[in-house]
């Protein structure tokens, strides 16, 4: 089952870490933060991420060492790693790429530049997760501008409804239990009651159905929900 990709941000500057978390979550990623090299290695061992944003200058273990050790482990051997650095020397850049970083971005950078680079990396590694636009029936979702249209009508969704719809649109017709949706949308490490899913599905339906538009979401009794695009 495809989930919102999980990004591990390794950054010791709290303000930058918070800014990255905020923007990445807005983009639909699940984010965890580690503030030094050792914490990063522990966090990646506990929950292997889909993508790592790794600062070069870190307390305890430098970014380059973290990168090397992540590459040495089975679970993170192929995990995309994007390094952040204040250094501009060509030599360091090549060293970072040599030990297995996938991309490299120099501080200060703009958030939109970083997000574009992460999307490019994700697209390369896991194409299905990073498409900019997905279409199911008459519903079109643009993940870059965070806009959803049904036919020619703009659909206004809250962030949670957006993520639920994104997940359902990736697997049209497939039935997901509340627990599976919780896991995919909120993440398995967060405690949310199953009926919360019903509340958000209710809001999503309300936003998707205006006038005599049909209900694209099928409720499967005691099983869960599915998006039916040909109904």
Task: Summarize as ranges the residues that interact with Ca ion (CB under 5 A).
Answer: 12, 55, 57
Q: At which residue do the structure tokens 């060492």 appear?
A: 65
CA distance 156 to 163: 13
From the CB of 71, what's the least distance to Ca ion, in Å?
Answer: 20
**Quick one: 103 or 228, whose CB is closer to Ca ion?**
103
From the CB of 90, what's the least distance to Ca ion, in Å?
Answer: 20
**Quick one: 65 or 138, whose CB is closer to Ca ion?**
65
CA distance 194 to 183: 10
**Quick one: 12 or 138, whose CB is closer to Ca ion?**
12
Output DSSP code: residue 152: T
Beta strands in 11-61 (DSSP E): 30-34, 51-55
From the CB of 210, what's the least distance to Ca ion, in Å?
Answer: 49
CA distance 229 to 213: 12
**Quick one: 55 or 166, whose CB is closer to Ca ion?**
55
83 phi/psi in degrees, rounded to 5 = -95, 145
From the CB of 55, what's the least distance to Ca ion, in Å?
Answer: 4
Residues 6+ apart with CB under 8 A from 139: 148, 149, 150, 155, 165, 169, 208, 216, 229
Helix, strand or coil, per DSSP, at residue 224: strand
**Quick one: 58 or 201, whose CB is closer to Ca ion?**
58
* Residue whose CB is nearest to Ca ion in the complex, by number: 57
From the CB of 112, what's the least distance to Ca ion, in Å?
Answer: 21
From the CB of 47, what's the least distance to Ca ion, in Å?
Answer: 22
CA distance 204 to 133: 19
From the CB of 201, what's the least distance to Ca ion, in Å?
Answer: 42
**Quick one: 42 or 86, whose CB is closer to Ca ion?**
86
**Quick one: 83 or 148, whose CB is closer to Ca ion?**
83
Q: Are 51 and 80 in contact (CB under 8 A)?
A: yes
93 phi/psi in degrees, rounded to 5 = -60, -45
């Amino acid at each position: 089952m495809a989930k919102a990709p999980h990004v591990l941000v390794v950054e010791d500057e709290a303000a930058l870490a918070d800014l990255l978390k905020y923007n990445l979550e807005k983009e639909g990623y699940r984010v965890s933060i580690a503030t030094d090299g050792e914490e990063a290695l522990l966090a990646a061992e506990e929950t292997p991420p889909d993508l790592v944003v790794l600062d070069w200058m870190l307390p305890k273990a430098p970014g380059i060492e973290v990168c090397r050790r992540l590459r040495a482990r089975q679970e993170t051997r192929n995990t995309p790693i994007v390094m952040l650095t204040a250094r501009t020397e060509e030599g360091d850049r090549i060293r970072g790429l040599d030990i297995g970083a996938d991309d490299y971005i120099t501080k200060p950078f703009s958030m939109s530049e970083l997000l574009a680079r992460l999307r490019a990396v994700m697209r390369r590694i896991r194409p299905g997760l990073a498409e900019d636009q997905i279409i199911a029936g008459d519903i079109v979702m643009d993940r870059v501008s965070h806009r959803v249209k049904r036919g020619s009508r703009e659909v206004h969704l809250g962030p949670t409804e957006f993520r639920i719809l994104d997940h359902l649109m990736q697997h049209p017709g497939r039935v997901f239990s509340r627990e599976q949706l919780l896991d995919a949308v909120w993440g398995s490490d967060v405690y949310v009651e199953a009926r919360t899913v019903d509340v958000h599905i209710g809001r999503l339906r309300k936003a998707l159905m205006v006038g005599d538009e049909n209900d694209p979401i099928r409720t499967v009794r005691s099983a869960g929900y599915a998006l039916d695009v040909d109904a």
